[in-house]
């Protein structure tokens, strides 16, 4: 179904549409990469933990990666013993450690102090234990999402790790350093740096998790990745994992919204939508202008698409259209699969988007929310 037909067939907006064909496409690319390179792929469920996505992804991956106990529990429920569950987070709460270790297969501590506390407890090993390393090579301009920023809280800086014996006490290493990256250079550079620091000592480990952040589905030359995984497999005997999120679901999500008001403000056309940055907070957090299906670079009719909350900065951005927008028109934001719905809130009492699944030529309503759901969220027990 093309996007114009989709717009007509949606019964309720705002709507989040999971494009299941697109999801299959990205999962297919990942499967090929698994076969070509021998890498093990985990879906990073933080990007979109929608049950339907987890079920569809399950046959194509070697497991899931999680960043909290709840995510790990959801992963375990879906996998039902058929795959690995990797977890790393700066937020390990030792009060939950028993439950975490009983739920995941691999747990990478984020700091030397986390690892030390774990060792002091003298537990019988259950999950395979790893450590997150920060290779201290930055590839992102915006420090808000740069794991290798100065004074980073994510992973043990390699300069510090190198001076300890911590690697003797773990079975694996974890790194995650980029976001939406479309070439493998940061990865090959980071691994080269780690090999330079640790060399043959890496042979004492069992696995390495290269994290997420790479858009496998938008990279045409996978050769550097295939060679890297081969080298880590053969020369160091390591099982190599990746844990992409956005590469799997990013392109598979649309946000469909309707125009509910049009007016002029200070000489610019404003179109207010029945959606809001509530439904994609990263638009506000990072000042991003999401990709819009209707945008025509040479369109004669510019308009600012505004969200319907009270927040002055609740704006999707200025776009150009071939015809003036009217109340009732629908617009479709693309590339909304990752980090949108999972971060959505009901600020201002604006409802969450209705969720649809788009299969070959068919649109299925998967879930909708009502006033009762809103009320339930804010009801107190006492
Ligand atoms: C440790 C870790 N692994 C994997 C991911 C998934 O990254 P992406 O969705 O960019 O592939 C993230 C994202 O923040 C992460 O922090």
Ranges of each domain in the chain: 3-17+250-378, 38-244
Ligand 1 pocket member 176 (CB < 6 A): yes
- Pick from 350, 340, 346, 317: which is nearest to 253 by CA? 340
Looking at residue 1, its pLDDT comes to: 87
In angstroms, what is the span from residue 176 Cα to ligand 1's centroid? 7
The two tokens of residue 128 are 């395979």
Q: Are 105 and 40 in contact (CB under 8 A)?
A: no
User: What is the topology classification, in CATH, of domain 3-17+250-378?
Assistant: Lyase, Ornithine Decarboxylase; Chain A, domain 1 (2.40.37)
Residue ID of nearest Cα to ligand 1 atom 10: 213
pTM of the model: 0.97
Ligand 1 atom with minimal separation from the 180 CA? 10
In angstroms, what is the span from residue 258 Cα to ligand 1's centroid? 31
The two tokens of residue 78 are 């879906």
The two tokens of residue 126 are 């259950």
CATH classification (class only), 38-244: alpha beta
Q: Is 33 helix (H, G, I), strand (E, B) or coil?
A: helix
Q: Are 57 and 247 in contact (CB under 8 A)?
A: no
- Show Cβ contacts of residue 77 under 8 Å, excluding neighbours closer than 6 positions: none
Pocket test for ligand 1, best of 33, 41, 42, 47 (most atoms within 8 A of CB): 47
Over its length of 382 residues, how does the chain's per-residue pLDDT go in tens digits?
899 999 999 999 999 999 999 999 999 999 999 999 999 999 999 999 999 999 999 999 999 999 999 999 999 999 999 999 999 999 999 999 999 999 999 999 999 999 999 999 998 889 999 999 999 999 999 999 999 999 999 999 999 999 999 999 999 999 999 999 999 999 999 999 999 999 999 999 999 999 999 999 999 999 999 999 999 999 999 999 999 999 999 999 999 999 999 999 999 999 999 999 999 999 999 999 999 999 999 999 999 999 999 999 999 999 999 999 999 999 999 999 999 999 999 999 999 999 999 998 899 999 999 999 999 999 999 9
Residue 206 CA to residue 180 CA, distance in Å, equals 28
- Show Cβ contacts of residue 181 under 8 Å, excluding neighbours closer than 6 positions: 139, 213, 214, 215
In angstroms, what is the span from residue 165 Cα to ligand 1's centroid? 27
Ligand 1 pocket member 47 (CB < 6 A): yes
Q: What would the DSSP string read from start to end of 319-370?
A: EEESS---TT-EEEE-S-TTTTGGG---GGGPPPPEEEEEETTEEEEEE---
């Amino acid at each position: 179904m093309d996007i114009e037909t989709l717009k007509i067939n949606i019964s309720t907006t705002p709507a989040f549409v999971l494009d299941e064909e697109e999801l299959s496409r990205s999962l297919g690319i990942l499967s090929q990469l698994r076969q070509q390179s021998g890498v093990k792929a985990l879906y990073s469920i933080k990007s979109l933990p929608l049950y339907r996505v987890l079920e569809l992804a399950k046959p194509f991956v070697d497991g899931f990666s999680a960043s909290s106990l709840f995510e790990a529990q959801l992963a375990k429920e879906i996998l039902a013993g058929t795959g690995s569950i990797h977890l790393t987070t700066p937020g390990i709460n030792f009060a939950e450690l028993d439950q975490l270790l009983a739920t995941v297969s691999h747990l990478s501590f984020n700091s030397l102090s986390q690892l030390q506390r774990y060792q002091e407890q003298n537990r019988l090993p259950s999950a395979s234990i790893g450590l997150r390393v920060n290779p201290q090579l930055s590839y992102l301009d915006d420090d808000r999402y740069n794991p290798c920023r100065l004074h980073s809280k994510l992973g043990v800086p390699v300069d510090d790790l190198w001076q300890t014996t911590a690697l003797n006490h773990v079975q694996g290493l974890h790194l995650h350093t980029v976001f939406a990256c479309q070439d493998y250079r940061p990865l090959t550079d980071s691994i080269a740096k780690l090999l330079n620091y640790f060399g043959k000592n890496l042979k004492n480990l069992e696995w390495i998790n290269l994290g997420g952040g790479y858009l496998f589905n938008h990279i045409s030359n996978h050769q550097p990745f295939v060679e890297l995984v081969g080298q880590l497999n053969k020369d160091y005997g390591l099982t190599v994992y990746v844990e992409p999120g956005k590469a799997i679901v990013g392109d598979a999500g649309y946000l469909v919204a309707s125009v509910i008001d049009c007016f002029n403000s200070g000489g610019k056309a404003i179109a207010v939508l029945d959606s809001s940055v509530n439904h994609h907070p990263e638009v506000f957090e990072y000042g991003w202008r999401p990709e819009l299906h209707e945008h025509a670079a040479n369109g004669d009719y510019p308009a600012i698409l505004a969200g319907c909350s009270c927040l002055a900065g609740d704006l999707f951005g200025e776009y150009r259209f071939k015809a003036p927008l009217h109340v009732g028109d629908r617009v479709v934001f693309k590339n909304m699969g990752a980090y949108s719905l999972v971060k959505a809130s009901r600020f201002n009492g604006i409802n969450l988007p209705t969720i649809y699944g788009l299969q070959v030529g068919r649109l299925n309503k998967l879930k909708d929310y009502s006033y009762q759901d809103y009320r339930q969220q804010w009801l107190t027990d006492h």
